[in-house]
Amino acid sequence: MQFCLLAAGSLVRLGTVALTLAWTHSIEKIRWEEDYRATPAGIVVTQDRIQGTGAGMEPPPDATFDGTWFRYTPKLPPQRQVILRRSGTTVGDWQVCIKGQCRTMGSYLPDKKADPVTLKICP
Give the whole-angstrom CA distance, residue 111 versus residue 98.
21
**pTM for the full model?**
0.90
pLDDT tens sequence across 1-13: 899 999 989 999 9
Residues 6+ apart with CB under 8 A from 26: 89, 90, 91
pLDDT value of residue 35: 97
Contacts of 8 (CB under 8 A, 6+ apart): 109, 110, 111, 114
Q: Largest Cα–Cα distance in the chain? A: 42
Write out pLDDT tens, residues 10-45: 999 999 999 999 988 777 788 899 999 999 999 999
CA angle 48, 115, 103 (to 5 degrees): 55
Give the residue-averaged pLDDT of 57-75. 91
Helices (H) and strands (E) counted in the chain, each on its own, are: 0, 11
Query: What is the rounded average pLDDT of the residues 68-96?
Result: 88
Q: Torsion angle, CA of 18/122/74/49, rounded to 10 degrees? A: 40
